[in-house]
Structure 1
Amino acid sequence: MTSPSAAHPRFAAALSALGLDDVEVRSFPDATRTAAEAAAAIGCELSQIVKSLVFEADGVPVLVLMDGASRVDVERVRAELGAERVGRADARVVRDATGYAIGGVPPFGHTTQLRVLADRRLLTHGTVWAAAGTPHTVFAIEPKALVAHAGGTLADVREAG
């Protein structure tokens, strides 16, 4: 176990501002950019990894929190948001909207206020793990607390299957 100081400084500050100084942040020598890499490094189920994915809905960045074993159904996101077009954001949009690079985007602590959709399946676990602002750090949190701190709306936005 490491301290929140192992997290990206902006994210460590966000944890502190939310009173989450006691949250477990783990740092790994190798990148955990993918959900599979993170699950292997942590030793948890793939579905316990939270992917923080940025999409653009009619040109506006939106964050979707999805479990690591599932894929986002873009049509469901579009319907949930009432948007005409939804697609994955490029690396520049992700960094501009969140302040973090792809592979290290945390679920909160961003440079801009994003609309957040959290897939309901995240609530099936007692603990989930999400990026702590870098490709080398993750943190553990209870799913309901994650959704609350992210300002997320629960939705069914994963691909059926």
Structure 2
Amino acid sequence: MANTTPDTAAHPRFADALRELGLDVGVRRFPDATRTAAEAAAAIGCELSQIVKSLVFEADGQPVVVLLDGASRVDVELVRQELGAERVRRANAALVRETTGYAIGGVPPFGHRTRTRVLADRRLLDHATVWAAAGTPHTVFPLDPPTLIAHAEGTLVDVRERPA
């Protein structure tokens, strides 16, 4: 469980964001990609629901980031209702990179290229610590959910699919 400094592990844009926010977090780098929530949870040794997925959607042509726990799926209809949008769909890889500055699988919850609306699912608050991507598919960092959501300037919502 070796910690590395943000300068050597995190994506440079994200390392800059951490510095600007005054956050000193232990960014961890893994030799194998932690592109999926399941891969990240296995590598870290935490519960799947402690992984934060930063998912980009397009709502009426505008990007929006949804922060969700790794054990859940987004209910696109709830996102649509929350935003008052006509149409919501998953963003393609080009829009994800254009909006956030990161590739799918490495998108952090904040430190994005452009200022984007962020919705944070309330279930993230179920844990004392959650883990999110640090800008690459090989890096993650821990943070308490209220601090993470605050730095992401996220609106607390309920947008996860409910079991039938």
Global fold match (TM > 0.5): yes
Equivalenced residues, count: 160
Instruction: Verify: 1:132 aligned to 2:134, yes or no.
Output: yes
1:1-161 equivalence runs, <5 A: 1-5=3-7, 6-20=9-23, 22-161=24-163
Residue 4 of structure 1: how far off its partner (Å): 1.0
The CA deviation string for residues 66-111 of structure 1, in whole angstroms up to 9 with x for no partner, is 0000000000000000000000000000000000000000000000
Q: Provide the C-alpha distance between the structure 2 equivalents of 1:25 and 1:133, rounded to a whole number of angstroms.
A: 10
Letter in 2 for 1:17: E
Percent identity over paired residues? 79
Letter in 1 for 2:146: K
Structure 1: stretches of 5+ with no match in the other structure:
none
Letter in 1 for 2:93: A
TM-score (norm 2): 0.97
Compute the RMSD of aligned alpha carbons: 0.4
TM-score (norm 1): 0.99
Residue 2 of structure 1: how far off its partner (Å): 1.2
Give the match's secondary structure for 2:102: coil
Q: Provide the C-alpha distance between the structure 1 equivalents of 2:126 and 2:93, rounded to a whole number of angstroms.
A: 30
Structure 2: stretches of 5+ with no match in the other structure:
none
Runs of at least 4 residues of structure 1 off by over 6 A? Answer: none
Give the match's secondary structure for 1:135: coil
Q: Provide the C-alpha distance between the structure 2 equivalents of 1:124 and 1:56, rounded to a whole number of angstroms.
A: 27
